[in-house]
Amino acid sequence: MGRFSRLSYLYKEFTKMLKKPSLFLELFHREYWAVLRANFAVGKSWSENAQGQGLQKRNYASYEDYLAHQKVKLDYIHLVKEEREGLADYHVKYCEALRERLEKLPVAWPGKTVLCLAARLGTEVKSFLQLGGFAVGIDLNPGENNSYVLYGDFHDLVFPDHSVDVVFSNSFDHVYDIDKVISEIKRVLKMGGLLLLEVQQGSDQGRKPGLYESFWWSKIDALAALLEERQLKMVGRFPIEYPWEGEFLIFTPSQGDSAD
């Protein structure tokens, strides 16, 4: 992050606190300082991703910096009252919206094994459970006493080969190494299994990455093309409006493809 970007970030944080005096008290919470430091240190520059045209990745100084930055997003939400209230509302609305989308798919959900990647507090896990799936999530920071999500990194899954019927994620914009994530998904998916992705519109479609995004696309088509190049065949696709405008993409391992 350049000097101007650092000063700009600090100015925005200071202005936010002036408008909401309650944030001054929260600023002195020891965990808030950790969040502030991680956000302050994150790289602001982006580079073209080598894996495909129309794809970009954030320039972190190291993988450790990436991990530290991604872990503090939940801490920030929990520390700021407005963010906490927004998250509570999101849990209810998103769980219902995702369940309704899943109900429309030609899938018999009872008994299906489902792995949700970067699931945070587990809202998406609950949607699959309500449909009768055997679901669990992983996240770099699942918070305390989370019954639905285990600690885990989607770049290095601990689950056995060909052990999962469905992999779900709405967090591909938080990937550090897209090839590693794709390789791990293909490894744990059963042949005939499904990869379900919810992805928001890209930069050419009017959306820009926020502070915590680490991987981005110009158009959803660019991401879809990369997945198909990696032997994941698209078998379904439809638009979504919540929690953001984007698309629901459905892939399955190509016939004859072996896990990397």
pLDDT band at 82 (very low <50, low <70, confident <90, very high): very low
Residue 17: inside a domain: no
- Say if 40 falls within a structural domain: no
Q: Which whole number is the average pLDDT over 207-226?
A: 93
Side-by-side strand order, sheet with 246-253: 149-151, 134-139, 113-117, 164-169, 189-200, 246-253, 232-240
Q: Range of 171's domain?
A: 45-63+82-253
CATH number of the domain where residue 227 is located: 3.40.50.150
> What's the structural domain count of the chain?
1
76 domain-assigned: no
| Distance spanning both ends of the chain, measured CA to CA | 35
Write down the pTM of the prediction. 0.82
pLDDT tens for 217-243 read 999 999 999 999 999 999 999 999 999
Region of poorest pLDDT, from 122-131, 138-147, 219-228: 138-147
| Angle of CA points 52, 242, 235, to nearest 5° | 50
Q: What is the mean pLDDT of the chain?
A: 85
Q: In the prediction, which pLDDT does 247 show?
A: 98
Q: 163 burial class (0-12, 13-18, 19+ CB within 10 angstroms)?
A: middle
SS3 assignment, position 69: helix
Q: What's residue 15's pLDDT?
A: 76
What local confidence, expressed as pLDDT, does residue 5 receive?
58
Rounded to an integer, what distance in angstroms lies between the CA atom of residue 12 and that of residue 21?
A: 14
In a domain, 5, yes or no: no
Instruction: Note whether 59 and 5 are within 8 A (CB).
Output: no
